[in-house]
Structure 1
Amino acid sequence: MQITPLHAWDLTPQEAIALQNRLRRLVVLEDYLSEVRHIGGVDLSFARDSDQGWAGVVILQMPELTLIESQTVTGPVPFPYIPGLLSFRELPLLLQALERVEHTPDVILCDGQGIAHPRGLGIASHLGLFLNLPTVGVAKSRLTGYYREPDPLPGSYTHLYDRQGRVIGAVLRTKPRTKPLFISPGHRITLATALTLVMQSLRGFKLPEPIRQAHQLVNRARRSAL
């Protein structure tokens, strides 16, 4: 898969924040996809008490969500865990895994935020700029914004708003009696299309299949190595 070399990764947290403020101006919140035949999912797993990480990518064929390709890489993750700077910790390894991918997806779902981020540049948006592909943030918790709890019925959602009252995402119930997911566009996609793709990718679990399978992939890789 082709990757645009946007910047170096040897940054301090202060430099990373300044870079996010610059890069967010490049994010496009319009749909740049028509038919979705291949959908990707990415995730990363860490060893306990270590800086070693395992990054994974799965490519599924739509609409059946059949697995057609998976890739994993492992390596050190030197950047510390800092809320709001997840992409600087996880993207270097994820990009290495994506470089190995032969079937370029039409869209990628990321375990993390898109524009629902204090500086409007979560890991999904950041990744989209590197790949010049549509990306969607699918997070299990809120990083910023306010919302009303969605109804208990799966498929119910409410909007997530920033401090200025702008819609920056959706809070989606995907399974009864479970906490909702926080969906936000990453790059080259609208919130409406992002929501539709996430709901089309559900198969009875809380997480959409691309992310669920990527999560399983990296956990298997980590367990087999330890």
Structure 2
Amino acid sequence: MNTPMHLSSQLAVNVLDAHSLLAAFGVLGVGVVLFAETGLLIGFFLPGDSLLFTAGLLCTGTADSGVRLSLGPLLAAAAVGALAGAQCGYVLGRRGGGALLARSSSARLHEGARRAEELLEKYGYAKAIVLARFVPVVRTVLNPMAGALRVPVRTFTVWQTAGGLAWSLGLTLAGYALGSAIPDVDRYLLPLVAVIVVVSLIPLASEVYRSRRAAKAKEARG
């Protein structure tokens, strides 16, 4: 039974802080946050990367935070939230088109839309859908944009599943592995989260580098 104090602590949760979200809502919160971040434009600000990594770390029981999660249910919640959210975003984009973005006044969201469109045009559907998973804001906007641009349902579903599982399970297991290997690793959580965010951008940076290198080689041959 929830006490008034417990309810007030849930209401006072900081949605921008991964540890606060996990302390208040546990594994269920992971699924809900990932669904909102990847499926609803209003969720673009949510901390998907840090939430997954921190949740994995808290499964080890080595963190001195009072929060303990179970790895199996966490992996299931992360996968379901990430995959269902992306598919929902696609459906909303297919039905609502560009009107969804037009209603938003967020400069950050529109910048994410521009980058998402560039990914789709430059790398094709498969690579863009997978790479977008590892870029904050872009992973929120690309799904409805794919729907609005009429990316085939089968193509979108296959590649958003591949990217979604790699992103959600990969970051969660990375946090779990590090938490298992290093005692009291939560003392270094903030710098670790920053490193994880940077590392998550490596696939996109690598693809951009390869694309530019190929373009220069093509110009040299021409």
TM-score (normalised: structure 2): 0.28
| Structure with the larger strand share | 1
| Structure with the larger helix share | 2
TM-score (normalised: structure 1): 0.27
